[in-house]
Amino acid sequence: MELIGRVVSTKMQKTAVVEVERLVTHPRYKKRIRQRKKLQAHNELGVKIGDVVKIISNRPLSKAKHFIIKEIVER
């Protein structure tokens, strides 16, 4: 599974918090709703806050960390 999101925090060692946004259609009202989810990802590339990154799922690295940053899409 490959997701694209924006880095919102890099305060932990080798971990970045990535906010992934997606559009979902409401089942009854058919209005497009923007949903956000914050995921923790393993950071070996040295990303900074505001970078747009591509993350891929991986085996669990810790209690909350199940993703790895694959590449930096935009600085």
Residue 65 has pLDDT above 90, yes or no: yes
- The CATH number covering residue 40 comes to 2.40.50.140
3-state SS string over the chain?
CEEEEEEEEEEECCEEEEEEEEEEECCCCCCEEEEEEEEEEECCCCCCCCCEEEEEECCCCCCCEEEEEEEEEEC
Number of independent structural domains in the chain: 1
- Give me the domain span that covers residue 66: 2-74
12-36 pLDDT, tens digit each: 999 999 999 999 999 999 999 999 9
Asked whether the whole model's pTM tops 0.85, one would answer yes
